[in-house]
Amino acid sequence: MNTFTIEELKENAHIHFIGIGGISMSGLAHIAISHGYKVTGSDREKTEITDKLEKEGAVIYEGHDGKNISGADLVVHTAAVKADNPEMAEAAKQGIRLIDRAEFLGAIMKHYRHAVGVAGTHGKTTTTSMLAHALIYADTDPTISVGGVLDLISGNIRCGSSDLFVTEACEYTNSFLKFYPTIALITNIEEDHLDFFTGIEMIRDSFRKFAELTRGVGHVVAYGEDENIKIALNGSDLNIITYGMSSDNDYYAQNISYHAGYPTFDVYKSGNMICSVSLKVPGEHNILNTLASIAVCELLGVDTKTAAKGIETFTGTHRRFEKKGMINGAVVIDDYAHHPTEIKATLKAAGAFEHNRIRCVFQPHTYSRTRTLWNEFVEAFDDADELIITHIYAAREVYDGVTDPDKLAAEIAEKRGVNVRYIDNFSEIAEYYKNTAESGDIIITMGAGDVTNIGPMIVG
């Protein structure tokens, strides 16, 4: 079947979203509503996200049933939804146009003169959020789709009226190859999603194809010190702009200092200082995210000093080094880090703050990621003074019979000498911190699953 285009839809068409409660799907549903389409959707249960959509006019069904798609002109589904889903099966039976989330998002992107796709193994949500702050501060009135909750836009989506669209671009199942970026931003390339990719060679090839989507229409903005990015883009004829910490890049940082844990630095381009930035988010990785954002903003015609001022208003998205509260003088932080590189970056950023101990509770995300990156996870927690490993958040997977989090904890203790234990129960973890938290401790709940629930249990 031909690639879907928005032109296929009649005015006031009925679009049904399977899995509408997801962060990305809900954003697309919001865009569809703003464009005058009738929207229905289903998910396993209703949430604050679906409640918000209902207030905007969507009809939400709890649970999946073939009857839910009655009258639909188009059915959009997440990558996690299988062909045996009753709504998928009914759409196929009725011959209703059936596409996945990425194809629908790509069709939307195609209608914007400037479409920025923010890709990379790490940093997509934060960098997209920084861009949102910069572009809104510069009065460009962009449409923004973020993979997290950003207070500036009161959620994960903003529908602007200009010809500028910014979205995260996820590599999983090659979703981002269905996009139409005029600027492809690549923050890094590492092994991940190895339940789909066969290894780093396949991942690099996927990112190269994503970059090639800009051929003849725009630019690639890439972290110039990432070896996998260098390999992926080697020999290409694309318009590539690089950023990094060294002056070998087009954009780079100089005169870096830290104040109360947060970095201040000057941004240089081709030997000339173009702006200064004082961040309200920690870590060297956020210096890099800033450089990427400023490079993109300049391509879009935004003054770099104005972009910097906008970025300085960014205090983080939910679940990205998010302060949840205090207990006994200890600060409780929640972070989405679920890949070894992200874990290292988060713990390093925490170390820049004055502290007594860095105490981390980590929930591995999916059996496949834990299994395939096992050795990297073992080495990821060296900067933690204390570590608790809890049960694996399975997400779309089932237990594989071999990947056990208690064994991960034991190996970290044996090989790295980290003070680590395995505790399965969240209430027990929360009580432990309540009883042992001391002034100067930084307690970090870390992972992409429901470990985020522990923070409120500690401080509540």
What are the catalytic residues? 124-125, 168
Cα(271)–Cα(173) distance, integer angstroms: 40
> Which amino acid is residue 129, in one-letter code?
S
Angle at 272 between CA 266 and CA 276, to 5 degrees: 20
Cα(356)–Cα(153) distance, integer angstroms: 35
Cα(265)–Cα(159) distance, integer angstroms: 32
Cα dihedral sign for 319, 27, 340, 370? Answer: positive
Tell me whether strands 143-150 and 155-158 are parallel, antiparallel or unpaired.
antiparallel
Cα(251)–Cα(295) distance, integer angstroms: 7
- Give residues with Cβ within 8 angstroms of 1, minimum separation 6: none
Cα(421)–Cα(38) distance, integer angstroms: 51
Q: How is the beta sheet containing 322-327 ordered, strand by strand?
A: 322-327, 330-335, 442-446, 358-362, 386-389, 420-422
Cα(124)–Cα(188) distance, integer angstroms: 10
Cα(23)–Cα(270) distance, integer angstroms: 38
| Measured torsion, CA atoms of residues 138, 139, 144, 150, in degrees rounded to the nearest 10 | 70
Q: Which residues pair with 268 in a beta bridge?
A: 252, 273
**HSE-CB for 290 with a 13 A CA cutoff:** 38
Per-residue three-class SS string for 342-359: HHHHHHHHHHCCCCCCEE
Which tokens belong to 166? 């910014």
Contact by Cβ (8 Å): 159, 168:
no
Q: How is the beta sheet containing 251-259 ordered, strand by strand?
A: 155-158, 143-150, 164-168, 114-119, 183-186, 219-223, 240-244, 251-259, 262-269, 272-278
CA-based radius of gyration for the chain = 22
